[in-house]
Structure 1
Amino acid sequence: MAASLSDVAERAGVSIKTVSGALHGGSARMSEETRLRIKQIAEELGYVTNLAARGVRQGWLPLIGVVADELITSPFATEIIRGLDGAARTAEMAVFAMNLNGTRDVASVLEEVRRFRPRAIAYAAMYHKTVALPEAFAANVGIMINCSEATGRVTSLVPDDESAAFDVTRHLLTAGRRRIAFINLPGLLAGELRERGFRRALDEAGIAPIGIMPAVRRPIYTDRAPSMVGTHIAGLMNASESPDAILCGNDRVAMEVYSALRRAGARIPDDVAVGSFDNQVEIATRLDPPLTTMALPHRAMGRVAAEMLLSEKIVPPHTRRLPFQLISRSSV
């Protein structure tokens, strides 16, 4: 039989309430010496917290539930879960995720998450977008991660795509580049915001873009859509005023740009500098030369989300934009 709170209390010569306070952070007052002695006795007896019983008493389990909107299928967006988990463990909480995809609707996944009686629920998306939560469930979601709620009823943590594009464009300008093209991600909120930041940086420098072009033929970017990168690069390099820098919508696009520039006989960065977004390390560090790119704040979003979910401070719903980090490598 597993040791119980009463077993620990009997061995320590204290009340069950005191043991609970020492092991679970309750309100019982005690000296640090007593707290440490109780924890040592609990460890010697092999006491394990009965989470189910604890959940019945306080109405929730020490869990953060995540509705993962295709998140766990993305090799780099899983940094959100890592950030959440690290901060949750510090607070002696655990994180579990349930995947939302085309075969399951938001309401059913949220209801499934609620059955576990988590302390808090987060909604995390694979990419920056706007999400319409069912009205009946909006109050159950404590925070939106990498996305925003359509009506503004839920606090949202999103990447600051516009500022990231402004910063990387300024980096290209500082490196002396003046003829800059942008091969962007059509139909995505991130692409729209990045184009805004790109244009703002060039406007402030008094420079017009060489061109802003979609990376794929379809109206909404996916990495499976027919690519237009090769066609764009061939046209740009054959123009009377060819670019001396190309900003790419993401690292996958940059990988295609590298190949197309080499086919055109252009050297990176001697002839054309290349900048990008995402910092998919398995791509960015293996390109030759390694790629300068803006790292998404995924892990920071997860960490901040956990801290906000577990905070006792009540703040009104708002949107918080987290900065990217410029990872400067040899492509600029």
Structure 2
Amino acid sequence: MPDAKISLQDIARRLGVSAKTVSGALHGDGSIRMAEGTRARIKALADELGYVPNMVARGMRQGVMPIIGIVADGLITQPFATEILRAFDNSVRTEGLSVVVTSVGDPSTVEASVAELQRFMPRAIAYAAMYHQVVDLPKAARGAVKLMINCRDSEGEIASLVPAEREAAEAIVNHLFDRGRKSIAFLNLPGLLAGTMREDGFRAAHAARGLAPNEAWIRPATRGPLYSDRARSLVFAHVQEMLSGPVRPDAILCGNDRVALEAYNTLRRIGARIPEDVAVASFDNQVEIAARLDPPLTTMALPHRAIGRRAAEILAGQGRRANSIEEIPFRLVERASV
């Protein structure tokens, strides 16, 4: 059984070289020059003896540990948003790094959470949010946070990875047009950045075809200034009204899959068939909803896994550097509702 306590000094003594040379060969320090034969002998003996790097000691010497810190604003409480952390964790592990996550409930705790993570001497710290939003970090935390994940820095100073909301809306509207739909209603998410950007994309897709959307069919899915589970739903009233007039939409784009679920229920209650009478499309691809509706829902999948993988690439120092704001594209999931 390999001896886990073999040290750099042990290997150095056996080969008659310095511990610094052994460290350079095993830890990839390009500043230490040596013959390739020497490097190969050191690696071979380390493998034979079962040398295990003391990452803690190495981290103490270098002033950083093989750790990435994440300040998570509600991210770990949302079933589909956790895909960001899952993909991130899987990716950084391939680089020999570990992830330490601290959850924050309100902005007043962000500074303390960043300070707590700094005690671990992480290689980098990122801030991640459960949905696309603008975040105003406290001044004391700004210098420590290297990357914003699924959110934007209010000052535009910190690199940010966000979903390409406008592009996604253009893509799904074009898909509806390409499938023969001509009159599209939009039940949007009020008060959310995603809703604003998706409406921009909705309008842009119409404009690109020389069309103007029916303004009376662009409506909020809930009452109040902000979409939330607690807000009163307006879906039933809106769908019923739009389909009771002489001019009716032949497609309804929903702000997310939960809104689409309500639209399905309303259409069934008033005797409209999906997709024969009205097509329904959406955003998010919450599989527990979208794939189980009847018929299954066509939707734009949030790029959570891609965001997690790209964040890992940036923070591990691999691949290209982050842009100021980097938009990650959604993926169209075609099902039977269109």
In the superposition, the TM-score normalised over structure 1's length comes to 0.91
Give the C-alpha shift of residue 237 in structure 1. Answer: 2.0
Give the C-alpha shift of residue 251 in structure 1. Answer: 1.0
Q: In the aligned structure 2, how far is the partner of 1:64 from the partner of 1:143?
A: 11
Residue 274 (structure 2) aligned to one of 268, 271, 281: 268
- Contact residue 185 and residue 220 of structure 1 kept, 8 A: yes
2:298 matches 1:292 = yes
Q: In the aligned structure 2, how far is the partner of 1:153 from the partner of 1:188?
A: 22
- Contact residue 297 and residue 325 of structure 1 kept, 8 A: yes
Residue 213 (structure 2) aligned to one of 208, 216, 237: 208
- Contact residue 217 and residue 225 of structure 1 kept, 8 A: yes
Q: In the aligned structure 2, how far is the partner of 1:314 from the partner of 1:267?
A: 48
2:262 matches 1:259 = no
Residue 228 (structure 1) aligned to one of 222, 234, 237: 234
2:96 matches 1:85 = no
Q: In the aligned structure 2, how far is the partner of 1:324 from the partner of 1:278?
A: 9
Q: Deviations over 1:46-100 (max 9, x none)?
A: 5433222112111101111111111111111122213322332232222221111
Percent of pairs identical after alignment?
Answer: 55
2:19 matches 1:16 = yes
Residue 80 (structure 2) aligned to one of 65, 76, 92: 76
Q: What is the correspondence of 1:110-259 to structure 2 with a 5 Å cutoff?
A: 110-205=114-209, 206-209=211-214, 211-259=217-265
- Contact residue 178 and residue 207 of structure 1 kept, 8 A: no
2:316 matches 1:310 = yes
Larger CA deviation: 4-13 vs 111-120:
4-13
2:67 matches 1:63 = yes
Give the C-alpha shift of residue 4 in structure 1. Answer: 2.5
Change (3 A) 1:222 1:9: farther
- Contact residue 314 and residue 321 of structure 2 kept, 8 A: no
Give the C-alpha shift of residue 8 in structure 1. Answer: 3.7
- Alignment-mate amino acid for residue 243 of structure 2: M
Give the C-alpha shift of residue 30 in structure 1. Answer: 5.2
Secondary structure class of the residue paired with 1:218? coil
Residue 5 of structure 2 aligns with which residue? 2
Q: In the aligned structure 2, how far is the partner of 1:306 from the partner of 1:33?
A: 34
Secondary structure class of the residue paired with 1:137? helix
Larger CA deviation: 41-50 vs 103-112:
41-50
Secondary structure class of the residue paired with 2:327? strand
Secondary structure class of the residue paired with 1:142? strand
Q: In the aligned structure 2, how far is the partner of 1:214 from the partner of 1:199?
A: 15
2:281 matches 1:278 = no
Give the C-alpha shift of residue 273 in structure 1. Answer: 0.6
Change (3 A) 1:233 1:142: same
Larger CA deviation: 204-213 vs 125-134:
204-213
Larger CA deviation: 188-197 vs 31-40:
31-40
- Contact residue 165 and residue 194 of structure 2 kept, 8 A: yes
- Alignment-mate amino acid for residue 320 of structure 1: E
Change (3 A) 1:162 1:3: same
Larger CA deviation: 103-112 vs 295-304:
103-112
Change (3 A) 1:104 1:172: same
Q: In the aligned structure 1, how far is the partner of 2:64 from the partner of 2:159?
A: 21
Larger CA deviation: 11-20 vs 195-204:
11-20
Q: In the aligned structure 2, how far is the partner of 1:35 from the partner of 1:92?
A: 21
- Contact residue 126 and residue 146 of structure 2 kept, 8 A: yes
Give the C-alpha shift of residue 9 in structure 1. Answer: 3.4
- Alignment-mate amino acid for residue 97 of structure 1: V
Length, aligned pairs only:
332
- Contact residue 152 and residue 317 of structure 1 kept, 8 A: no
Q: In the aligned structure 2, how far is the partner of 1:183 from the partner of 1:36?
A: 64
Secondary structure class of the residue paired with 1:61? coil
Structure 2: state its 5+ residue gaps. none
Give the C-alpha shift of residue 131 in structure 1. Answer: 0.5
Q: In the aligned structure 2, how far is the partner of 1:74 from the partner of 1:32?
A: 50
Q: In the aligned structure 2, how far is the partner of 1:331 from the partner of 1:33?
A: 64
Q: Deviations over 1:218-264 (max 9, x none)?
A: 32111232222122222222122222100010111111111111111
